[in-house]
Amino acid sequence: MQRKWGTVFAILTAATLILLAVIVPATNLGTNVGASGARPGPAPTGWQLAQPVTYQNLTIFPVVSGQDADTSDFVTLDEALASGGAVVAEQGEYLRRTRDGNIPLGFSSGPQVNQLVLINRGKRPLILLAGEVVSGGKQDRIIGKDRIVPIGAQPLPLDVFCVEHGRWTGASNEFSAAKTMVHPSVREEAAVEQNQQQVWAAVRGEADAVGGGNPTAVPAAPPALTRQALAGAIASAGTQSYQMIYKSSPIGISVETFAEEISRRFEGATSGLKGERVVGVVVAFGDEVAWSDIFASSKLFNAYWPKLLRSYVVEAMTRPAVREAASLDDARDFLRPVTGHIEQESEPGVYDWRKQSVGRLAEIQLEALAPKPLTLHYLRVLRSGERSIFVR
């Protein structure tokens, strides 16, 4: 009898292990993404790829889901800055020495190029995404890494990157919401590479810092916006203010015209969804799928979509026009799970940040730990090719 029960137990154990081996990988974020209207079977995450929209050399695949998480407990940086719920300022001028004469731990006595101070005095945790622009202070900066700032947190030494290589003066100590996201070639250097020299090089439009697209694609026309013209627009008035892209004529007009056309087509393609919401996008330039931004909810996606769209448009305008366009299969392959080098950062009870990279692919996940575990943002990037060593 004991031998019989031992045999049964061994069989059940083996069956359980096999079942777990099948189920656990399938629950990972981004696994087995399907195509809405193209192939049956939803992804385990609830993601589907809807039919793409294409204009010129930019193709955007809506990522839709029947699962729409409640993210009302969180606030975006633009919302918090506009309402006064958050303050971003230069170090040293906003923070004063404590009564005993000591500078708070982690801070400097004066302004720092790569560090600001952030105070979340609102009633909701604050979401920061790498590549978001804050305007003001000594010069405009971009957020260096995805993270969450909890309610009531102490003033935070905030890692940032400079996008204005040439100005170090300003009438205001504090920063305002720029409602702008840097284009992917620059954002990649901040979010993935974490390198100030490469951020500056990408802002200047240097070839080694900008993705070149698929070398086998047949160019149909030169870029609508050359890297030199982009750098010239940013460098207007003797500085390098990223927002000058949108104020420079005719570049700003061209970006808006392009963005309005993509937006119109995107709304038309997604207006008939039933039981599903748009939670993100996969982005291709020509026939190369290169980027994705996916969120936990349609509410978060809608909050970021206007500035994300314009960032994709700027990137598309700097790349050669090609005859080929990426397919649904290309976008689906882009989101397939990878196994590679992992870096992690965590603030207990607040968030987990995880980066995984293999070859040219890199993915970043930002997971909120409270009020319940929830992946707020998923970023996947096809990184640019070989880079030179940049020297200041």
Residue 381 and residue 361: Cα distance in Å, rounded?
A: 6
More confident call, 5 vs 28: 5
CA distances from 267 to 36, 96, 240, 263 (A): 16, 49, 34, 6
Buried b (16+ CB within 10 A) or exposed e, 163-192: bbbebeebeebbbebbbbbbbbbbbbbbbb
Q: Hey, is 319 helix, strand or coil? A: coil
On the question of a cis peptide bond just before residue 371, with omega within 30 degrees of 0, the verdict is: yes
Confidence of residue 384 (pLDDT cuts 50, 70, 90): confident
More confident call, 22 vs 130: 130
Q: What is the pLDDT of residue 98?
A: 40
Residue 220 domain flag: yes
The CA-CA-CA angle for residues 388, 390, 391, to 5°, reads 140
- Least confident piece of the model among 89-93, 242-246, 386-390: 386-390
* Enclosing domain of residue 209: 35-97+107-382
Indicate the number of domains in the chain: 1
Q: What is the pLDDT of residue 389?
A: 30
| Contacts of residue 310, Cβ cutoff 8 Å, sequence gap at least 6 | 180, 181, 246, 255, 256, 259
Residue 3 domain flag: no
Please, what is the average pLDDT of the chain? 79
Q: For the segment 320-376, what is each residue's pLDDT rounded down to a tens digit?
A: 888 789 999 999 999 998 888 999 999 999 999 999 999 999 999 999 999 999 999
Residue 25 domain flag: no
Q: What is the pLDDT of residue 169?
A: 56
More confident call, 163 vs 275: 275
Residue 273 domain flag: yes
Confidence of residue 199 (pLDDT cuts 50, 70, 90): confident
Does the pLDDT of residue 198 top 70, yes or no?
A: yes
Confidence of residue 210 (pLDDT cuts 50, 70, 90): very low
Does the pLDDT of residue 105 top 80, yes or no?
A: no
Rounded to an integer, the average pLDDT of 164-169 is 58
Residue 54 domain flag: yes
Confidence of residue 170 (pLDDT cuts 50, 70, 90): low
Q: What is the pLDDT of residue 194?
A: 87
Q: What is the pLDDT of residue 23?
A: 36
Q: Which residues pair with 48 in a beta bridge?
A: 34, 64
Rounded to an integer, the average pLDDT of 29-41 is 39
Does the pLDDT of residue 318 top 90, yes or no?
A: no
Residue 145 and residue 289: Cα distance in Å, rounded?
A: 23
Residue 259 domain flag: yes
**What is the total residue count of the chain?**
392
Rounded to an integer, the average pLDDT of 134-158 is 90
Residue 265 domain flag: yes
Q: For the segment 281-296, what is each residue's pLDDT rounded down to a tens digit?
A: 999 999 999 999 999 9
Residue 9 domain flag: no
On the question of a cis peptide bond just before residue 42, with omega within 30 degrees of 0, the verdict is: no
The CA-CA-CA angle for residues 254, 256, 262, to 5°, reads 105
Q: For the segment 46-85, what is each residue's pLDDT rounded down to a tens digit?
A: 789 999 999 999 999 999 999 899 999 999 999 999 999 9
Q: For the segment 223-275, what is each residue's pLDDT rounded down to a tens digit?
A: 767 666 666 666 654 455 677 777 776 777 888 999 999 999 999 999 989 88
More confident call, 208 vs 353: 353
